Structure 1
Amino acid sequence: MLYDYCVIGGGIVGLATAMQLLEARPGASLVLIEKEDALGLHQTGHNSGVIHAGIYYPPGSLKAELCRKGAQATKDFCAEHDIAFEVCGKLLVATNPLEAKRMEALLERSQSNAIEVHRISEGELREREPNIAGLGALFVPSTGIVSYAEVCRAMGRIIAARGGEIRLGTRVSAIRETADTVSISSDGESWQARKLVACAGLQSDRLARLAGLPIDHRIVPFRGEYYRLPDEKSGIVRHLIYPIPDPDLPFLGIHLTRMIDGSVTVGPNAVLGFAREGYGHLSLSPGDVVDYALFPGFWKTLLGNRKSALVEMRNSLWKRGYLEECRKYCPGLELADLLPHRAGIRAQAVRRDGTLVHDFLFAATDRMLHVCNAPSPAATSAIPIADMIVERVLL
């Protein structure tokens, strides 16, 4: 069968794209191909479930705009489809004078992005969060929490209701573009589509290379390791508690996150992963390691970030070091409070020169669009990201 559209990838960006394509072209034929046996099992299903407000991003940037739009779109989608979410707000806590200075710069950035943020004093912080210590904080009232796995399942139902076909447990083995169509093959099956969109996340560079596209980056997996607090400490905070981020680092730091199921997690750190899709502590894929180890950009990135990499690795191997990061703003936590919790893996695109890609990265031909990098917070921004992709596909 010849489909109008094929979408590869059943994470939240792929699902939102398929959903929006069918909304823009009612009656079009579409097949979504996912190699796993369920939707949203990788980055989407392993993130912290935060609906971000978008205060971190440069004013006027695409990331800032998409996050702001995405936060509202996510809340509207959840309300329309009876998905539980909560707007609990976030506190970014300054624990030393340097962080207090960075806090002021972050406040200016948030104001430029037209995001409601309030500066609160040390006393006000103590009133709001008796278990949190700091010199002051920024309060972001619009930040929320949700289960993005539930969002994915709802999007899957909408795609099916609009006539789309979802093929689970199907690994793409070949992609070939001709003047009129794109051929997609799996073991013993093949499909033809007039247009293809690949939203493959952790495997995005491999899908692009499989399609013959000349890319100059690799996906390097970074593990985000979390702990869960015991049930008796699930009321330790009322809001999400984040540190003031270091602008020189690509990650936000260890934070306390209220989850939609009522639990509280602590994390993540950011350590090099030895498997793109290995969530266990000792997960190892020799093929994945060789893939990035042979890429010169990986070593340049490692050298340029060696100091922070060593700190993150130490905290991964030494639980007490991880605890000390948490105790900077939550001094009442004890070692016994850090219970096991599932890890997440971030697909970090790295260029040949060692530059970390922080923005969107696409590779396109006449009939294909590969989303090679959809930066955090892609889950929050998924619906407007999909709108942007659909606009490009329908040109």
Structure 2
Amino acid sequence: MPVQATRYVIVGAGIVGLAVAHRLLLDRPQATVTVVEKESRVGAHQTGHNSGVIHSGVYYRPGSLRAQLCVAGARSMVEFCRDNGVSVEITGKLIVATAHDELPRLRALAERAVANGVPAKLIGPAEATGIEPHVSCVAALHVETTGITDYRAVCDALSRLVVERGGEIRLGARVTGIGSGAVRTSGGDVPVDVLINCAGLYADRIARLAGCRPEVQIVPFRGEYFTVRRELVRGLIYPVPDPSLPFLGVHLTRMADGSLHAGPNAVLALSREGYRWGRVDVRDLAEAAGYPGLWRLARTHLGTGVDEVRRSLSRRRFAASLARLVPEVTREDLVPAPAGVRAQAVLRSGALADDFILLRADRQLHVLNAPSPAATSSLEIARRIVDELPA
């Protein structure tokens, strides 16, 4: 009697879930692979609301999963885009120190770039303005391998490849329960032998539904964007980030379609899908309010949080943050653009998880923290996950 093919079910059709499905079908062509997604399209949340940057890996702690998978992922993502007709461009970027007290942090980033194998060079103001004529800085780190793409288009390409190789993507299928032999969804039951949870904003809930007890909780942070009316930036300009936070600060990014985007900030969202201030979800809010880690986080970063809210409510403050990088930016240049929501894992201690988190259980794998640079790293995250999955 022939052995039944292993049935893999992936929860979530963001870029990581689709990349896992694609990698499974490449490496295990006899497998049955089904992706279930509650939305009516793929890449509907984090993937479809980011700035389209292919990160180089300069920011992340040497030896961490984020560093390893981002550096490799930048190469594989560029190759995938070129092979599949997705727009991609290597623009490079400047990380700029706008005050002398930021120089030690900029030098530390340069050292981290070396440790992570990322091509980067410390330059002065004259060389920086040769790359970005409108920038203002006392020094900059020129990161050569940073690029831009359209991650929604990447998801579309991955979806096509998954289906071509015999996989199935069930849209409009919200997970309602997980048993020993089936994933129950609003679109019917799906037989399962191995479960892979790539649910992003809901990854912790799916893990608990599957019987796990994750040591983190997802806390949603909204990142607000503006489109800049004027063509003031050729590529990407970032500030020197605060090393105590996983957010990179508001920056200027030329998108794959040629437009110039500014942002994101980082404010606590009142819903896991809180793309605007008026979107409130009582369950999400109660869950966040009852989590000790959020209160400990708030106490530690109260000043930063207040500043982010003030910037969220004031276009003038938002423009002033950008003007530190490019002085010509004014509030009149900024046109509101769709916001994104970052699924940030927070520990009970109040610490923000600073690495990708993969929780393994019996014939299950849960991706519990995969914010930026997960889109850049997605093909390598998928490779790592599939290598660890039972056959």
TM-score class, shorter? over 0.9
Task: Tell me, in whole angstroms, the C-alpha distance in 2 between the residues paired with 1:254 and 1:361.
Answer: 25
Q: What SS does the corresponding residue of 1:341 show, helix, strand or coil? A: strand
Task: Tell me, in whole angstroms, the C-alpha distance in 1 between the residues paired with 2:187 and 2:52.
Answer: 37
Does 2:330 match 1:331? Answer: no
Q: How does 1:1-395 map to 2 (within 5 A)?
A: 4-177=7-180, 182-187=181-186, 189-230=188-229, 233=230, 235-394=231-390
Contact 1:2-1:192 at 8 Å conserved across structures: no
Task: Tell me, in whole angstroms, the C-alpha distance in 1 between the residues paired with 2:34 and 2:307.
Answer: 44
What's the TM-score, normalizing by structure 2?
Answer: 0.97
Q: What SS does the corresponding residue of 1:298 show, helix, strand or coil? A: helix
Contact 1:92-1:138 at 8 Å conserved across structures: yes
* Cα offset, 1:261, TM superposition: 0.3
* Cα offset, 1:2, TM superposition: 8.3
Contact 1:3-1:192 at 8 Å conserved across structures: no
* Cα offset, 1:188, TM superposition: 6.0
* Cα offset, 1:27, TM superposition: 2.6
Task: Tell me, in whole angstroms, the C-alpha distance in 1 between the residues paired with 2:274 and 2:117.
Answer: 39
Q: List per-residue Cα deviations over 1:60-108 (Å, max 9, x = no partner).
A: 2221110010000000001111111111110011100111221111111
Contact 1:360-1:372 at 8 Å conserved across structures: yes
Alignment-mate amino acid for residue 139 of structure 2:
G
Task: Tell me, in whole angstroms, the C-alpha distance in 2 between the residues paired with 1:187 and 1:83.
Answer: 33
Contact 1:299-1:354 at 8 Å conserved across structures: yes
Distance 1:274 1:8, change over 3 A: same
Contact 1:2-1:191 at 8 Å conserved across structures: no
Distance 1:22 1:97, change over 3 A: same
Task: Tell me, in whole angstroms, the C-alpha distance in 2 between the residues paired with 1:188 and 1:149.
Answer: 24
Alignment-mate amino acid for residue 67 of structure 1:
C
* Unaligned ranges ≥5, structure 2: none
Task: Tell me, in whole angstroms, the C-alpha distance in 1 between the residues paired with 2:217 and 2:354.
Answer: 13
Task: Tell me, in whole angstroms, the C-alpha distance in 2 between the residues paired with 1:317 and 1:168.
Answer: 35
Q: List per-residue Cα deviations over 1:101-120 (Å, max 9, x = no partner).
A: 21111111111111110111
Contact 2:20-2:379 at 8 Å conserved across structures: yes
* Cα offset, 1:289, TM superposition: 0.5
Contact 1:2-1:194 at 8 Å conserved across structures: no
Q: List per-residue Cα deviations over 1:263-302 (Å, max 9, x = no partner).
A: 0011011000001113133211111111110111111111
Contact 1:27-1:163 at 8 Å conserved across structures: no
Q: What is the aligned-residue identity percentage? A: 46
Task: Tell me, in whole angstroms, the C-alpha distance in 1 between the residues paired with 2:308 and 2:276.
Answer: 17
Q: What SS does the corresponding residue of 1:381 show, helix, strand or coil? A: helix
* Cα offset, 1:149, TM superposition: 0.3
Q: List per-residue Cα deviations over 1:283-341 (Å, max 9, x = no partner).
A: 11111111110111111111111011011011011221111111111110111111010
Larger CA deviation: 355-364 vs 253-262 = 355-364
Contact 2:239-2:249 at 8 Å conserved across structures: yes
Alignment-mate amino acid for residue 157 of structure 1:
R
Task: Tell me, in whole angstroms, the C-alpha distance in 2 between the residues paired with 1:96 and 1:218.
Answer: 36
Task: Tell me, in whole angstroms, the C-alpha distance in 1 between the residues paired with 2:142 and 2:125.
Answer: 12
* Cα offset, 1:187, TM superposition: 2.9
Contact 1:3-1:31 at 8 Å conserved across structures: no
Superposition CA RMSD, Å: 1.4
Stretches of 4+ moved more than 3 A in 1?
none
Q: What SS does the corresponding residue of 1:274 show, helix, strand or coil? A: coil
* Cα offset, 1:365, TM superposition: 1.9
* Cα offset, 1:124, TM superposition: 1.3
Task: Tell me, in whole angstroms, the C-alpha distance in 1 between the residues paired with 2:197 and 2:366.
Answer: 5
Task: Tell me, in whole angstroms, the C-alpha distance in 2 between the residues paired with 1:281 and 1:300.
Answer: 23
Task: Tell me, in whole angstroms, the C-alpha distance in 2 between the residues paired with 1:281 and 1:65.
Answer: 36
* Cα offset, 1:127, TM superposition: 2.3
Task: Tell me, in whole angstroms, the C-alpha distance in 1 between the residues paired with 2:353 and 2:342.
Answer: 12
What's the TM-score, normalizing by structure 1?
Answer: 0.96
* Cα offset, 1:186, TM superposition: 1.6
Distance 1:2 1:387, change over 3 A: closer
Task: Tell me, in whole angstroms, the C-alpha distance in 2 between the residues paired with 1:39 and 1:68.
Answer: 25
Contact 2:64-2:355 at 8 Å conserved across structures: no
Q: What SS does the corresponding residue of 2:375 show, helix, strand or coil? A: coil
Task: Tell me, in whole angstroms, the C-alpha distance in 2 between the residues paired with 1:217 and 1:135.
Answer: 39
Task: Tell me, in whole angstroms, the C-alpha distance in 1 between the residues paired with 2:137 and 2:198.
Answer: 40
Task: Tell me, in whole angstroms, the C-alpha distance in 1 between the residues paired with 2:256 and 2:369.
Answer: 27
Task: Tell me, in whole angstroms, the C-alpha distance in 2 between the residues paired with 1:309 and 1:4.
Answer: 44
Task: Tell me, in whole angstroms, the C-alpha distance in 2 between the residues paired with 1:248 and 1:215.
Answer: 23
Task: Tell me, in whole angstroms, the C-alpha distance in 2 between the residues paired with 1:342 and 1:228.
Answer: 9
